[in-house]
């Protein structure tokens, strides 16, 4: 019996965050293995990202919903429980997540801010390849509930289930064991809860995701070790390429040796819309 083909989405988070990120994303798509990018619609370089995306229509672009560590679409007066006077969300995700769960006021404001970010994405004119969240907050029970209630109307067809296989990762990389184990457990639990809810709404996702447990260490050596170990079926590898802060992740995505390895192993590079 033939096993399923190995298909891989290679995604860049934080598209639109800065000129450096935008340039890295487009070059990684044109020159390397990058297939999709997740757009932060409220950041300073988002207009530049949209322009570049329209010049490169083979890049699948999705919404990178930002509800922490970023700017809001609405003014503070409209969502006072979520942002400060500069229109910026909390930079402490665990505290923000707890408030979003416990506070009725926060939940009401999320119901205003989340559709506003979808409206800004829709205004770009780009087809929506996928939806995910900055720091994976799209899997937060309250946020996920809002997304799935509106999945059909907002055109949500694919969403990231952040399941990074811990034991496979442990064979590929070492160090930071507490971080890696805790994040593997937290996001496996959140994804296990989310998976049947996504299926019920017809929202697709890759079977597994790589990058969470590496956290800014998705370099060439890691990708070279990962590729031959990639399980059959659909996987996603995400990183944060830039030309300054995370240049090692950009370098990995455009490395000719990595691109050749993908081809030699017969791995199909896809977008979320191909799931």
CATH number for the segment(s) 6-274: 3.20.20.370
101 has pLDDT over 90: yes
Mean pLDDT of 94-107: 96
256 has pLDDT over 70: yes
Mean pLDDT of 130-154: 98
To the nearest 10 degrees (0 to 180), the angle between helices 247-254 and 256-264 is 50
**pLDDT value of residue 3:** 75
**pLDDT value of residue 244:** 95
Mean pLDDT of 88-96: 95
**pLDDT value of residue 4:** 86
**pLDDT value of residue 2:** 55
155 has pLDDT over 60: yes
The tens digit of pLDDT for each residue in 164-219 reads 999 999 999 999 999 999 999 999 999 999 999 999 999 999 999 999 999 889 99
Percentage of residues in the chain with pLDDT exceeding 90? 98
The tens digit of pLDDT for each residue in 7-66 reads 999 999 999 999 999 999 999 999 999 999 999 999 999 999 999 999 999 999 999 999
Mean pLDDT of 156-168: 97
**pLDDT value of residue 1:** 43
Q: Are 61 and 34 in contact (CB under 8 A)?
A: no
> Model-level pTM greater than 0.75?
yes
pLDDT band at 238 (very low <50, low <70, confident <90, very high): very high
261 has pLDDT over 90: yes
Q: Domain boundaries in the chain?
A: 6-274
């Amino acid at each position: 019996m033939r096993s399923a083909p190995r298909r891989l989405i290679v995604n860049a988070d934080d598209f639109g965050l800065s000129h450096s990120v935008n340039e890295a994303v487009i070059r990684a798509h044109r020159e390397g293995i990058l297939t999709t990018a997740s757009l932060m619609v409220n950041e300073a370089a988002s207009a530049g990202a949209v322009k570049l995306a329209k010049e490169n229509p083979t890049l699948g672009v999705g919404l990178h919903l930002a509800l922490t560590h970023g700017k809001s679409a609405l003014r503070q007066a409209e969502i006072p429980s979520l942002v400060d006077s500069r229109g910026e969300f909390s930079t402490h995700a665990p505290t923000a997540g707890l408030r979003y769960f416990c506070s009725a006021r926060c939940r009401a404001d999320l119901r205003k801010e989340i559709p506003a970010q979808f409206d800004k994405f829709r205004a770009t004119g780009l087809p929506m390849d996928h939806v995910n969240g900055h720091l994976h907050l799209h899997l937060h029970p309250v946020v996920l509930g809002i997304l799935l209630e509106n999945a059909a109307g907002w055109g949500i067809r694919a969403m990231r289930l952040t399941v990074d296989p811990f034991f496979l990762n442990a064979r590929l990389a070492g160090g930071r064991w507490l971080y890696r184990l805790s994040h593997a457990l937290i996001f496996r639990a959140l994804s296990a809860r989310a998976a049947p809810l996504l299926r019920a709404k017809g929202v697709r996702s890759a079977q597994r995701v790589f990058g969470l447990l590496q956290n800014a260490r998705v370099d060439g050596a890691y990708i070279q070790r990962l590729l031959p170990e990639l399980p059959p079926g659909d996987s996603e590898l995400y990183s944060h390429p830039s030309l300054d802060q995370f240049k090692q992740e950009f370098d990995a995505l455009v490395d000719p040796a990595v691109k050749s390895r993908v081809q030699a192993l017969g791995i199909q590079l896809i977008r979320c819309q191909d799931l």
